[in-house]
Chain A
Amino acid sequence: MSVVYKKSKMLTNVPLNYCPGCTHGIVHKLVAETLEEINAEGNVIGIAPVGCAVFAYDFFNCDMQQVAHGRAPACATGIKRCNPDKIVFAYQGDGDIASIGTAEIVHAAARGENFTVVFINNAIYGMTGGQMAPTTLVGQKTTTSPFGRGKMQGNPIKLTEMLATLDGPSYLARVSVSDPANVRKAKKAIKKAFENQVNGKGFSMVEVLSTCPTNWHMTPVQALDFVKNEMTKVFPLGVYKDC
């Protein structure tokens, strides 16, 4: 008998505190497996955001910093510039990266900072109880857009496309974890984003379309279907920059 799949050693033994079916756990796993595969153990500094993933500092088996809301790319810049030989990654949600921290991500990308960003887009503020996010779909109901996101509440920000207009980034991709085939693709993209860093190619970001079953008021499986059928219409999957 041989073990063909088990929990990555780059995750700690602390049980994840995410809601049942939340895909943060899948993405954590993909990041951890990637770190393991590129032999980064003992050579990584991760950054936890503000939001549901704030507790990521408990989950990744590496040195971790938790930073103020939206400031992860600035923090990562400080770390990576002073520790160019270390693998540095920022793990951010949509409110963190595409609302309060827009300046930080745009400028880190423009400078082509040599670190990796994993951006979880689930179109909602999860931790605070389901408020409208910068990536909430038009018409989507949240606790602060109870009648559905309307005209005067802004349109979804397509951050990956925005960053693709810059000369700084090396790799920008949008993936989803809605089903096994897409999880495999997501893993590939995340691995590439980390390998780019190892090879000194500069800024890489992977946007992962994810779920929030709790605040979407759906079962985990329904939520995965929503990603596949609705979110990808607004946020098309694909590689937006690769150089």
Chain B
Amino acid sequence: MKVLMKGNEAIAEAAVRAGCRAFFGYPITPQNEIPEYFSRRMPEVGGVFVQAESEVSAINMVYGAAGSGARVMTSSSSPGISLKQEGISYICAAELPCVIVNMVRGGPGLGGILPAQSDYFQAVKGGGHGDYRMLVYGPSTVQEAVDIMYEAFDKADKYRIPVMILGDGVLGQIMEAIELPEMVDIQTIPKKEWATDGTGVGESRRVINTLKIKPEVLEEVNNRLADKYKSLSKHEVRYEQYRTEDAEIIFVAYGTVARISKSAVDTLRDKGIKAGLFRPITLYPFPSDPLLSLSKLRSSKKFLAIELSMGQMVEDVRLAVNGNKPVDFFGKVGGIIITPDDIVNYVIKEK
């Protein structure tokens, strides 16, 4: 049965259904419906909701809860996510599972509250100090966000890694008819033997610690993390292709912009221009190999990265395409949304 829900609320409900029983957050537009929803919903399912004193505190509450074995998440928007970076670095170092939603708004600084994709670098390159990554998804529709959220906690547990859902104000605010997943029986979630649940004593004592004074030990941690990221690249890459088989110009776009780009593909096709769309769903690991394959097709002449930024993902597209074909960039910033016509006009003008 389909229900009509706002993106932010649908994401929160999907988390509850995935077994998330703890949420720690701090108000910031445009994600406020997430903490608001949890504040009503958690008491119904015996979960925990705390409005923290800051994003810094919220992410450290996540650290404590995740370390003690809970399914836990937080959400915020760009300036708040910047504040969380310290905690995210520690969470990665301690190899704790959690989910973080970033409903991106335009920056830098306080910026605006309208949709943007200007936190791409921060999300996929680490963001805080040290050598680390997160598993990052860029859902394009509310349904996709719900489905990804439902899986995100399993992925986080499997790899002991934070999973970031990178959305924007459009995804958070739009209302769509969606199919919600079944409620997970939380008893069936595998027990985390490494977690500090308080039962440890003597030999069974568990320690969650990110201090590695001995260089060999810290090196080992970094190597283990690197192996984890290799494993993500091997098993977790997700993307969608739309009319790329014979496309001459291939758009590369994610999230909200991918939806808009899809319309532009159809319009251009109607005008006789062979356009296609490559849509990364995982932003880290980035789907480089399939993009490389597309760049080797005789039919593909040119790539166009389209983003609500001054050009961030385009760098990963260029790395993937590796000089095989030209990669152009088209973007808008400040919260001004790209329309299908903008893209169509840009393509026709540049042709």
Q: Would A and B touch once assembled, by the CB under 8 A criterion? A: yes
| A interface with B by C-beta (< 8 Å) | 12, 41-45, 47-48, 54-55, 57-58, 61-68, 71, 74-79, 81-83, 86-88, 103-104, 106-107, 111
B199 touches A43 (CB 8 A): yes
7 nearest interchain CB pairs?
Answer: A78-B64, A63-B196, A75-B64, A78-B65, A78-B61, A74-B60, A107-B53
In the bound complex, do residue B50 and residue A64 qualify as a contact, i.e. CB atoms below 8 Å apart?
A: no
Chain A minimum-CB-distance residue to B48 = A81
Interface of B is mostly: mixed
B:187-212 near A, CB below 8 Å: 196-202, 205-211
Asked if A57 contacts B209 (CB within 8 A), the reply is: yes
Q: For residue B198, which residues in chain A have a CB less than 8 angstroms away from its CB?
A: 42-45, 62-63, 83, 86-88
Judge whether B65 and A81 touch: CB under 8 Å: yes
Report the Cα distance A76→B50, complex, angstroms. Answer: 13
Contact sample, A vs B, 16 pairs, CB 8 Å cutoff: A45-B68, A61-B201, A63-B205, A65-B67, A67-B60, A68-B60, A74-B52, A74-B58, A74-B64, A76-B64, A78-B68, A79-B196, A82-B48, A83-B198, A86-B198, A104-B56
What is the size category of the interface that chain B forms with chain A?
Answer: 35 or more
Most buried by A among B48, B50, B57: B57
Residues in chain B within 8 A of chain A (CB atoms): 21-22, 24, 48, 50, 52-54, 56-58, 60-70, 72, 86-87, 90, 196-202, 205-211
Q: What chain A residues lie within 8 Å of B58 (beta carbons)?
A: 74
Alpha-carbon separation in the docked complex, A82 to B48 (Å): 7
**What are the residues of chain A within 8 A of B66 when measuring CB–CB?**
78
- CB distance A78 to B202 under 8 Å? no
Contact check, B52 vs A107: say whether CB atoms are below 8 A apart.
yes
Bound Cα distance A54, B213 (Å): 11
Of chain A, the residue at the smallest CB distance from B62 is: A78
Q: What residues of A have a CB within 8 angstroms of the CB of B86 in the complex?
A: 68
Q: Contact: A104 with B205, CB < 8 Å?
A: no
Q: Are B56 and A71 in contact, with the CB atoms below 8 A? A: yes
Task: Tell me the complex Cα distance, A120–B277, Å.
Answer: 59
Is B57 touching A66 in the complex (CB atoms < 8 A)?
Answer: no
Inter-chain contacts of A66 with B (CB < 8 A) = 207-211
Expressed in whole angstroms, the minimum distance between the Cβ of B100 and any Cβ of chain A is 14
Q: Which of B66, B201, B206 has the most CB of A within 10 A?
A: B201
Residues of B within 8 A of A111 (CB): 50
Q: Collect the chain A residues with CB atoms within 8 Å of residue B62's CB.
A: 78
The reply to whether B87 and A41 contact each other, CB–CB distance below 8 Å, is no
Q: Are B202 and A54 in contact (CB under 8 A)?
A: no
Q: Give the CA-CA distance A107 to B206 in the complex, in Å.
A: 28
Within 8 Å CB of B67, what residues of A?
A: 65, 75, 78-79
In the complex the two chains form, is A103's CB within 8 Å of B64's CB? Answer: no
Contacts of A45 in B (CB 8 A): 68, 196-198
> A70 to B52, alpha carbons, bound, how many Å?
15
* Shortest Cβ gap from B96 to chain A (Å): 10
Assess the B60–A78 pair: CB atoms within 8 A. yes
B197 engages A63 (CB within 8 Å): yes
Hey, which chain B residues are within 8 Å of A68, CB to CB? 60, 63, 86-87, 90
Contacts A43-B198, A63-B205, A104-B56 aside, 9 further interface pairs with beta carbons under 8 A come to A62-B200, A67-B60, A67-B90, A71-B57, A77-B50, A78-B60, A81-B65, A83-B198, A107-B57
B60 in contact with A83 (CB, 8 Å): no
Q: Is A83 a contact of B68 with CB atoms below 8 Å?
A: yes
Q: How far is the CB of B201 from chain A (nearest CB, A)?
A: 5
Asked if A63 meets B200 with Cβ closer than 8 Å, knowing A74-B60, A74-B64, A81-B65, the reply is yes
B206 CB contacts on chain A under 8 angstroms: 63-64
A167–chain B nearest beta-carbon distance, Å: 16
Q: How far apart sit A177 and B139, CA to CA, in the bound complex (Å)? A: 57
Q: With A65-B196, A66-B211, A81-B48 as known contacts, state yes or no: A41 contacts B70, CB within 8 Å.
A: no
Q: Which residue from A48, A74, A82 sits with its C-beta under 8 Å from B57?
A: A74
What are the residues of chain A within 8 A of B209 when measuring CB–CB?
A: 48, 57, 64-66
* B57–A62 touching, CB < 8 Å: no
Compute how far the CA of A121 lies from the CA of B209 in the bound complex, rounded to whole angstroms.
24
Determine the chain A residues whose CB is within 8 A of the CB of B196 once the complex forms.
45, 63-65, 79
Chain B residues closer than 8 Å to A83, beta-carbon distance: 68, 197-198
A75 touching B22, Cβ below 8 Å? no
Docked CA distance A41–B206 (Å): 14
In whole angstroms, how far apart are the Cα atoms of A136 and B196 in the complex? 35
Contact with B72, one of A41, A67, A78, A88 (Cβ below 8 angstroms)? A78
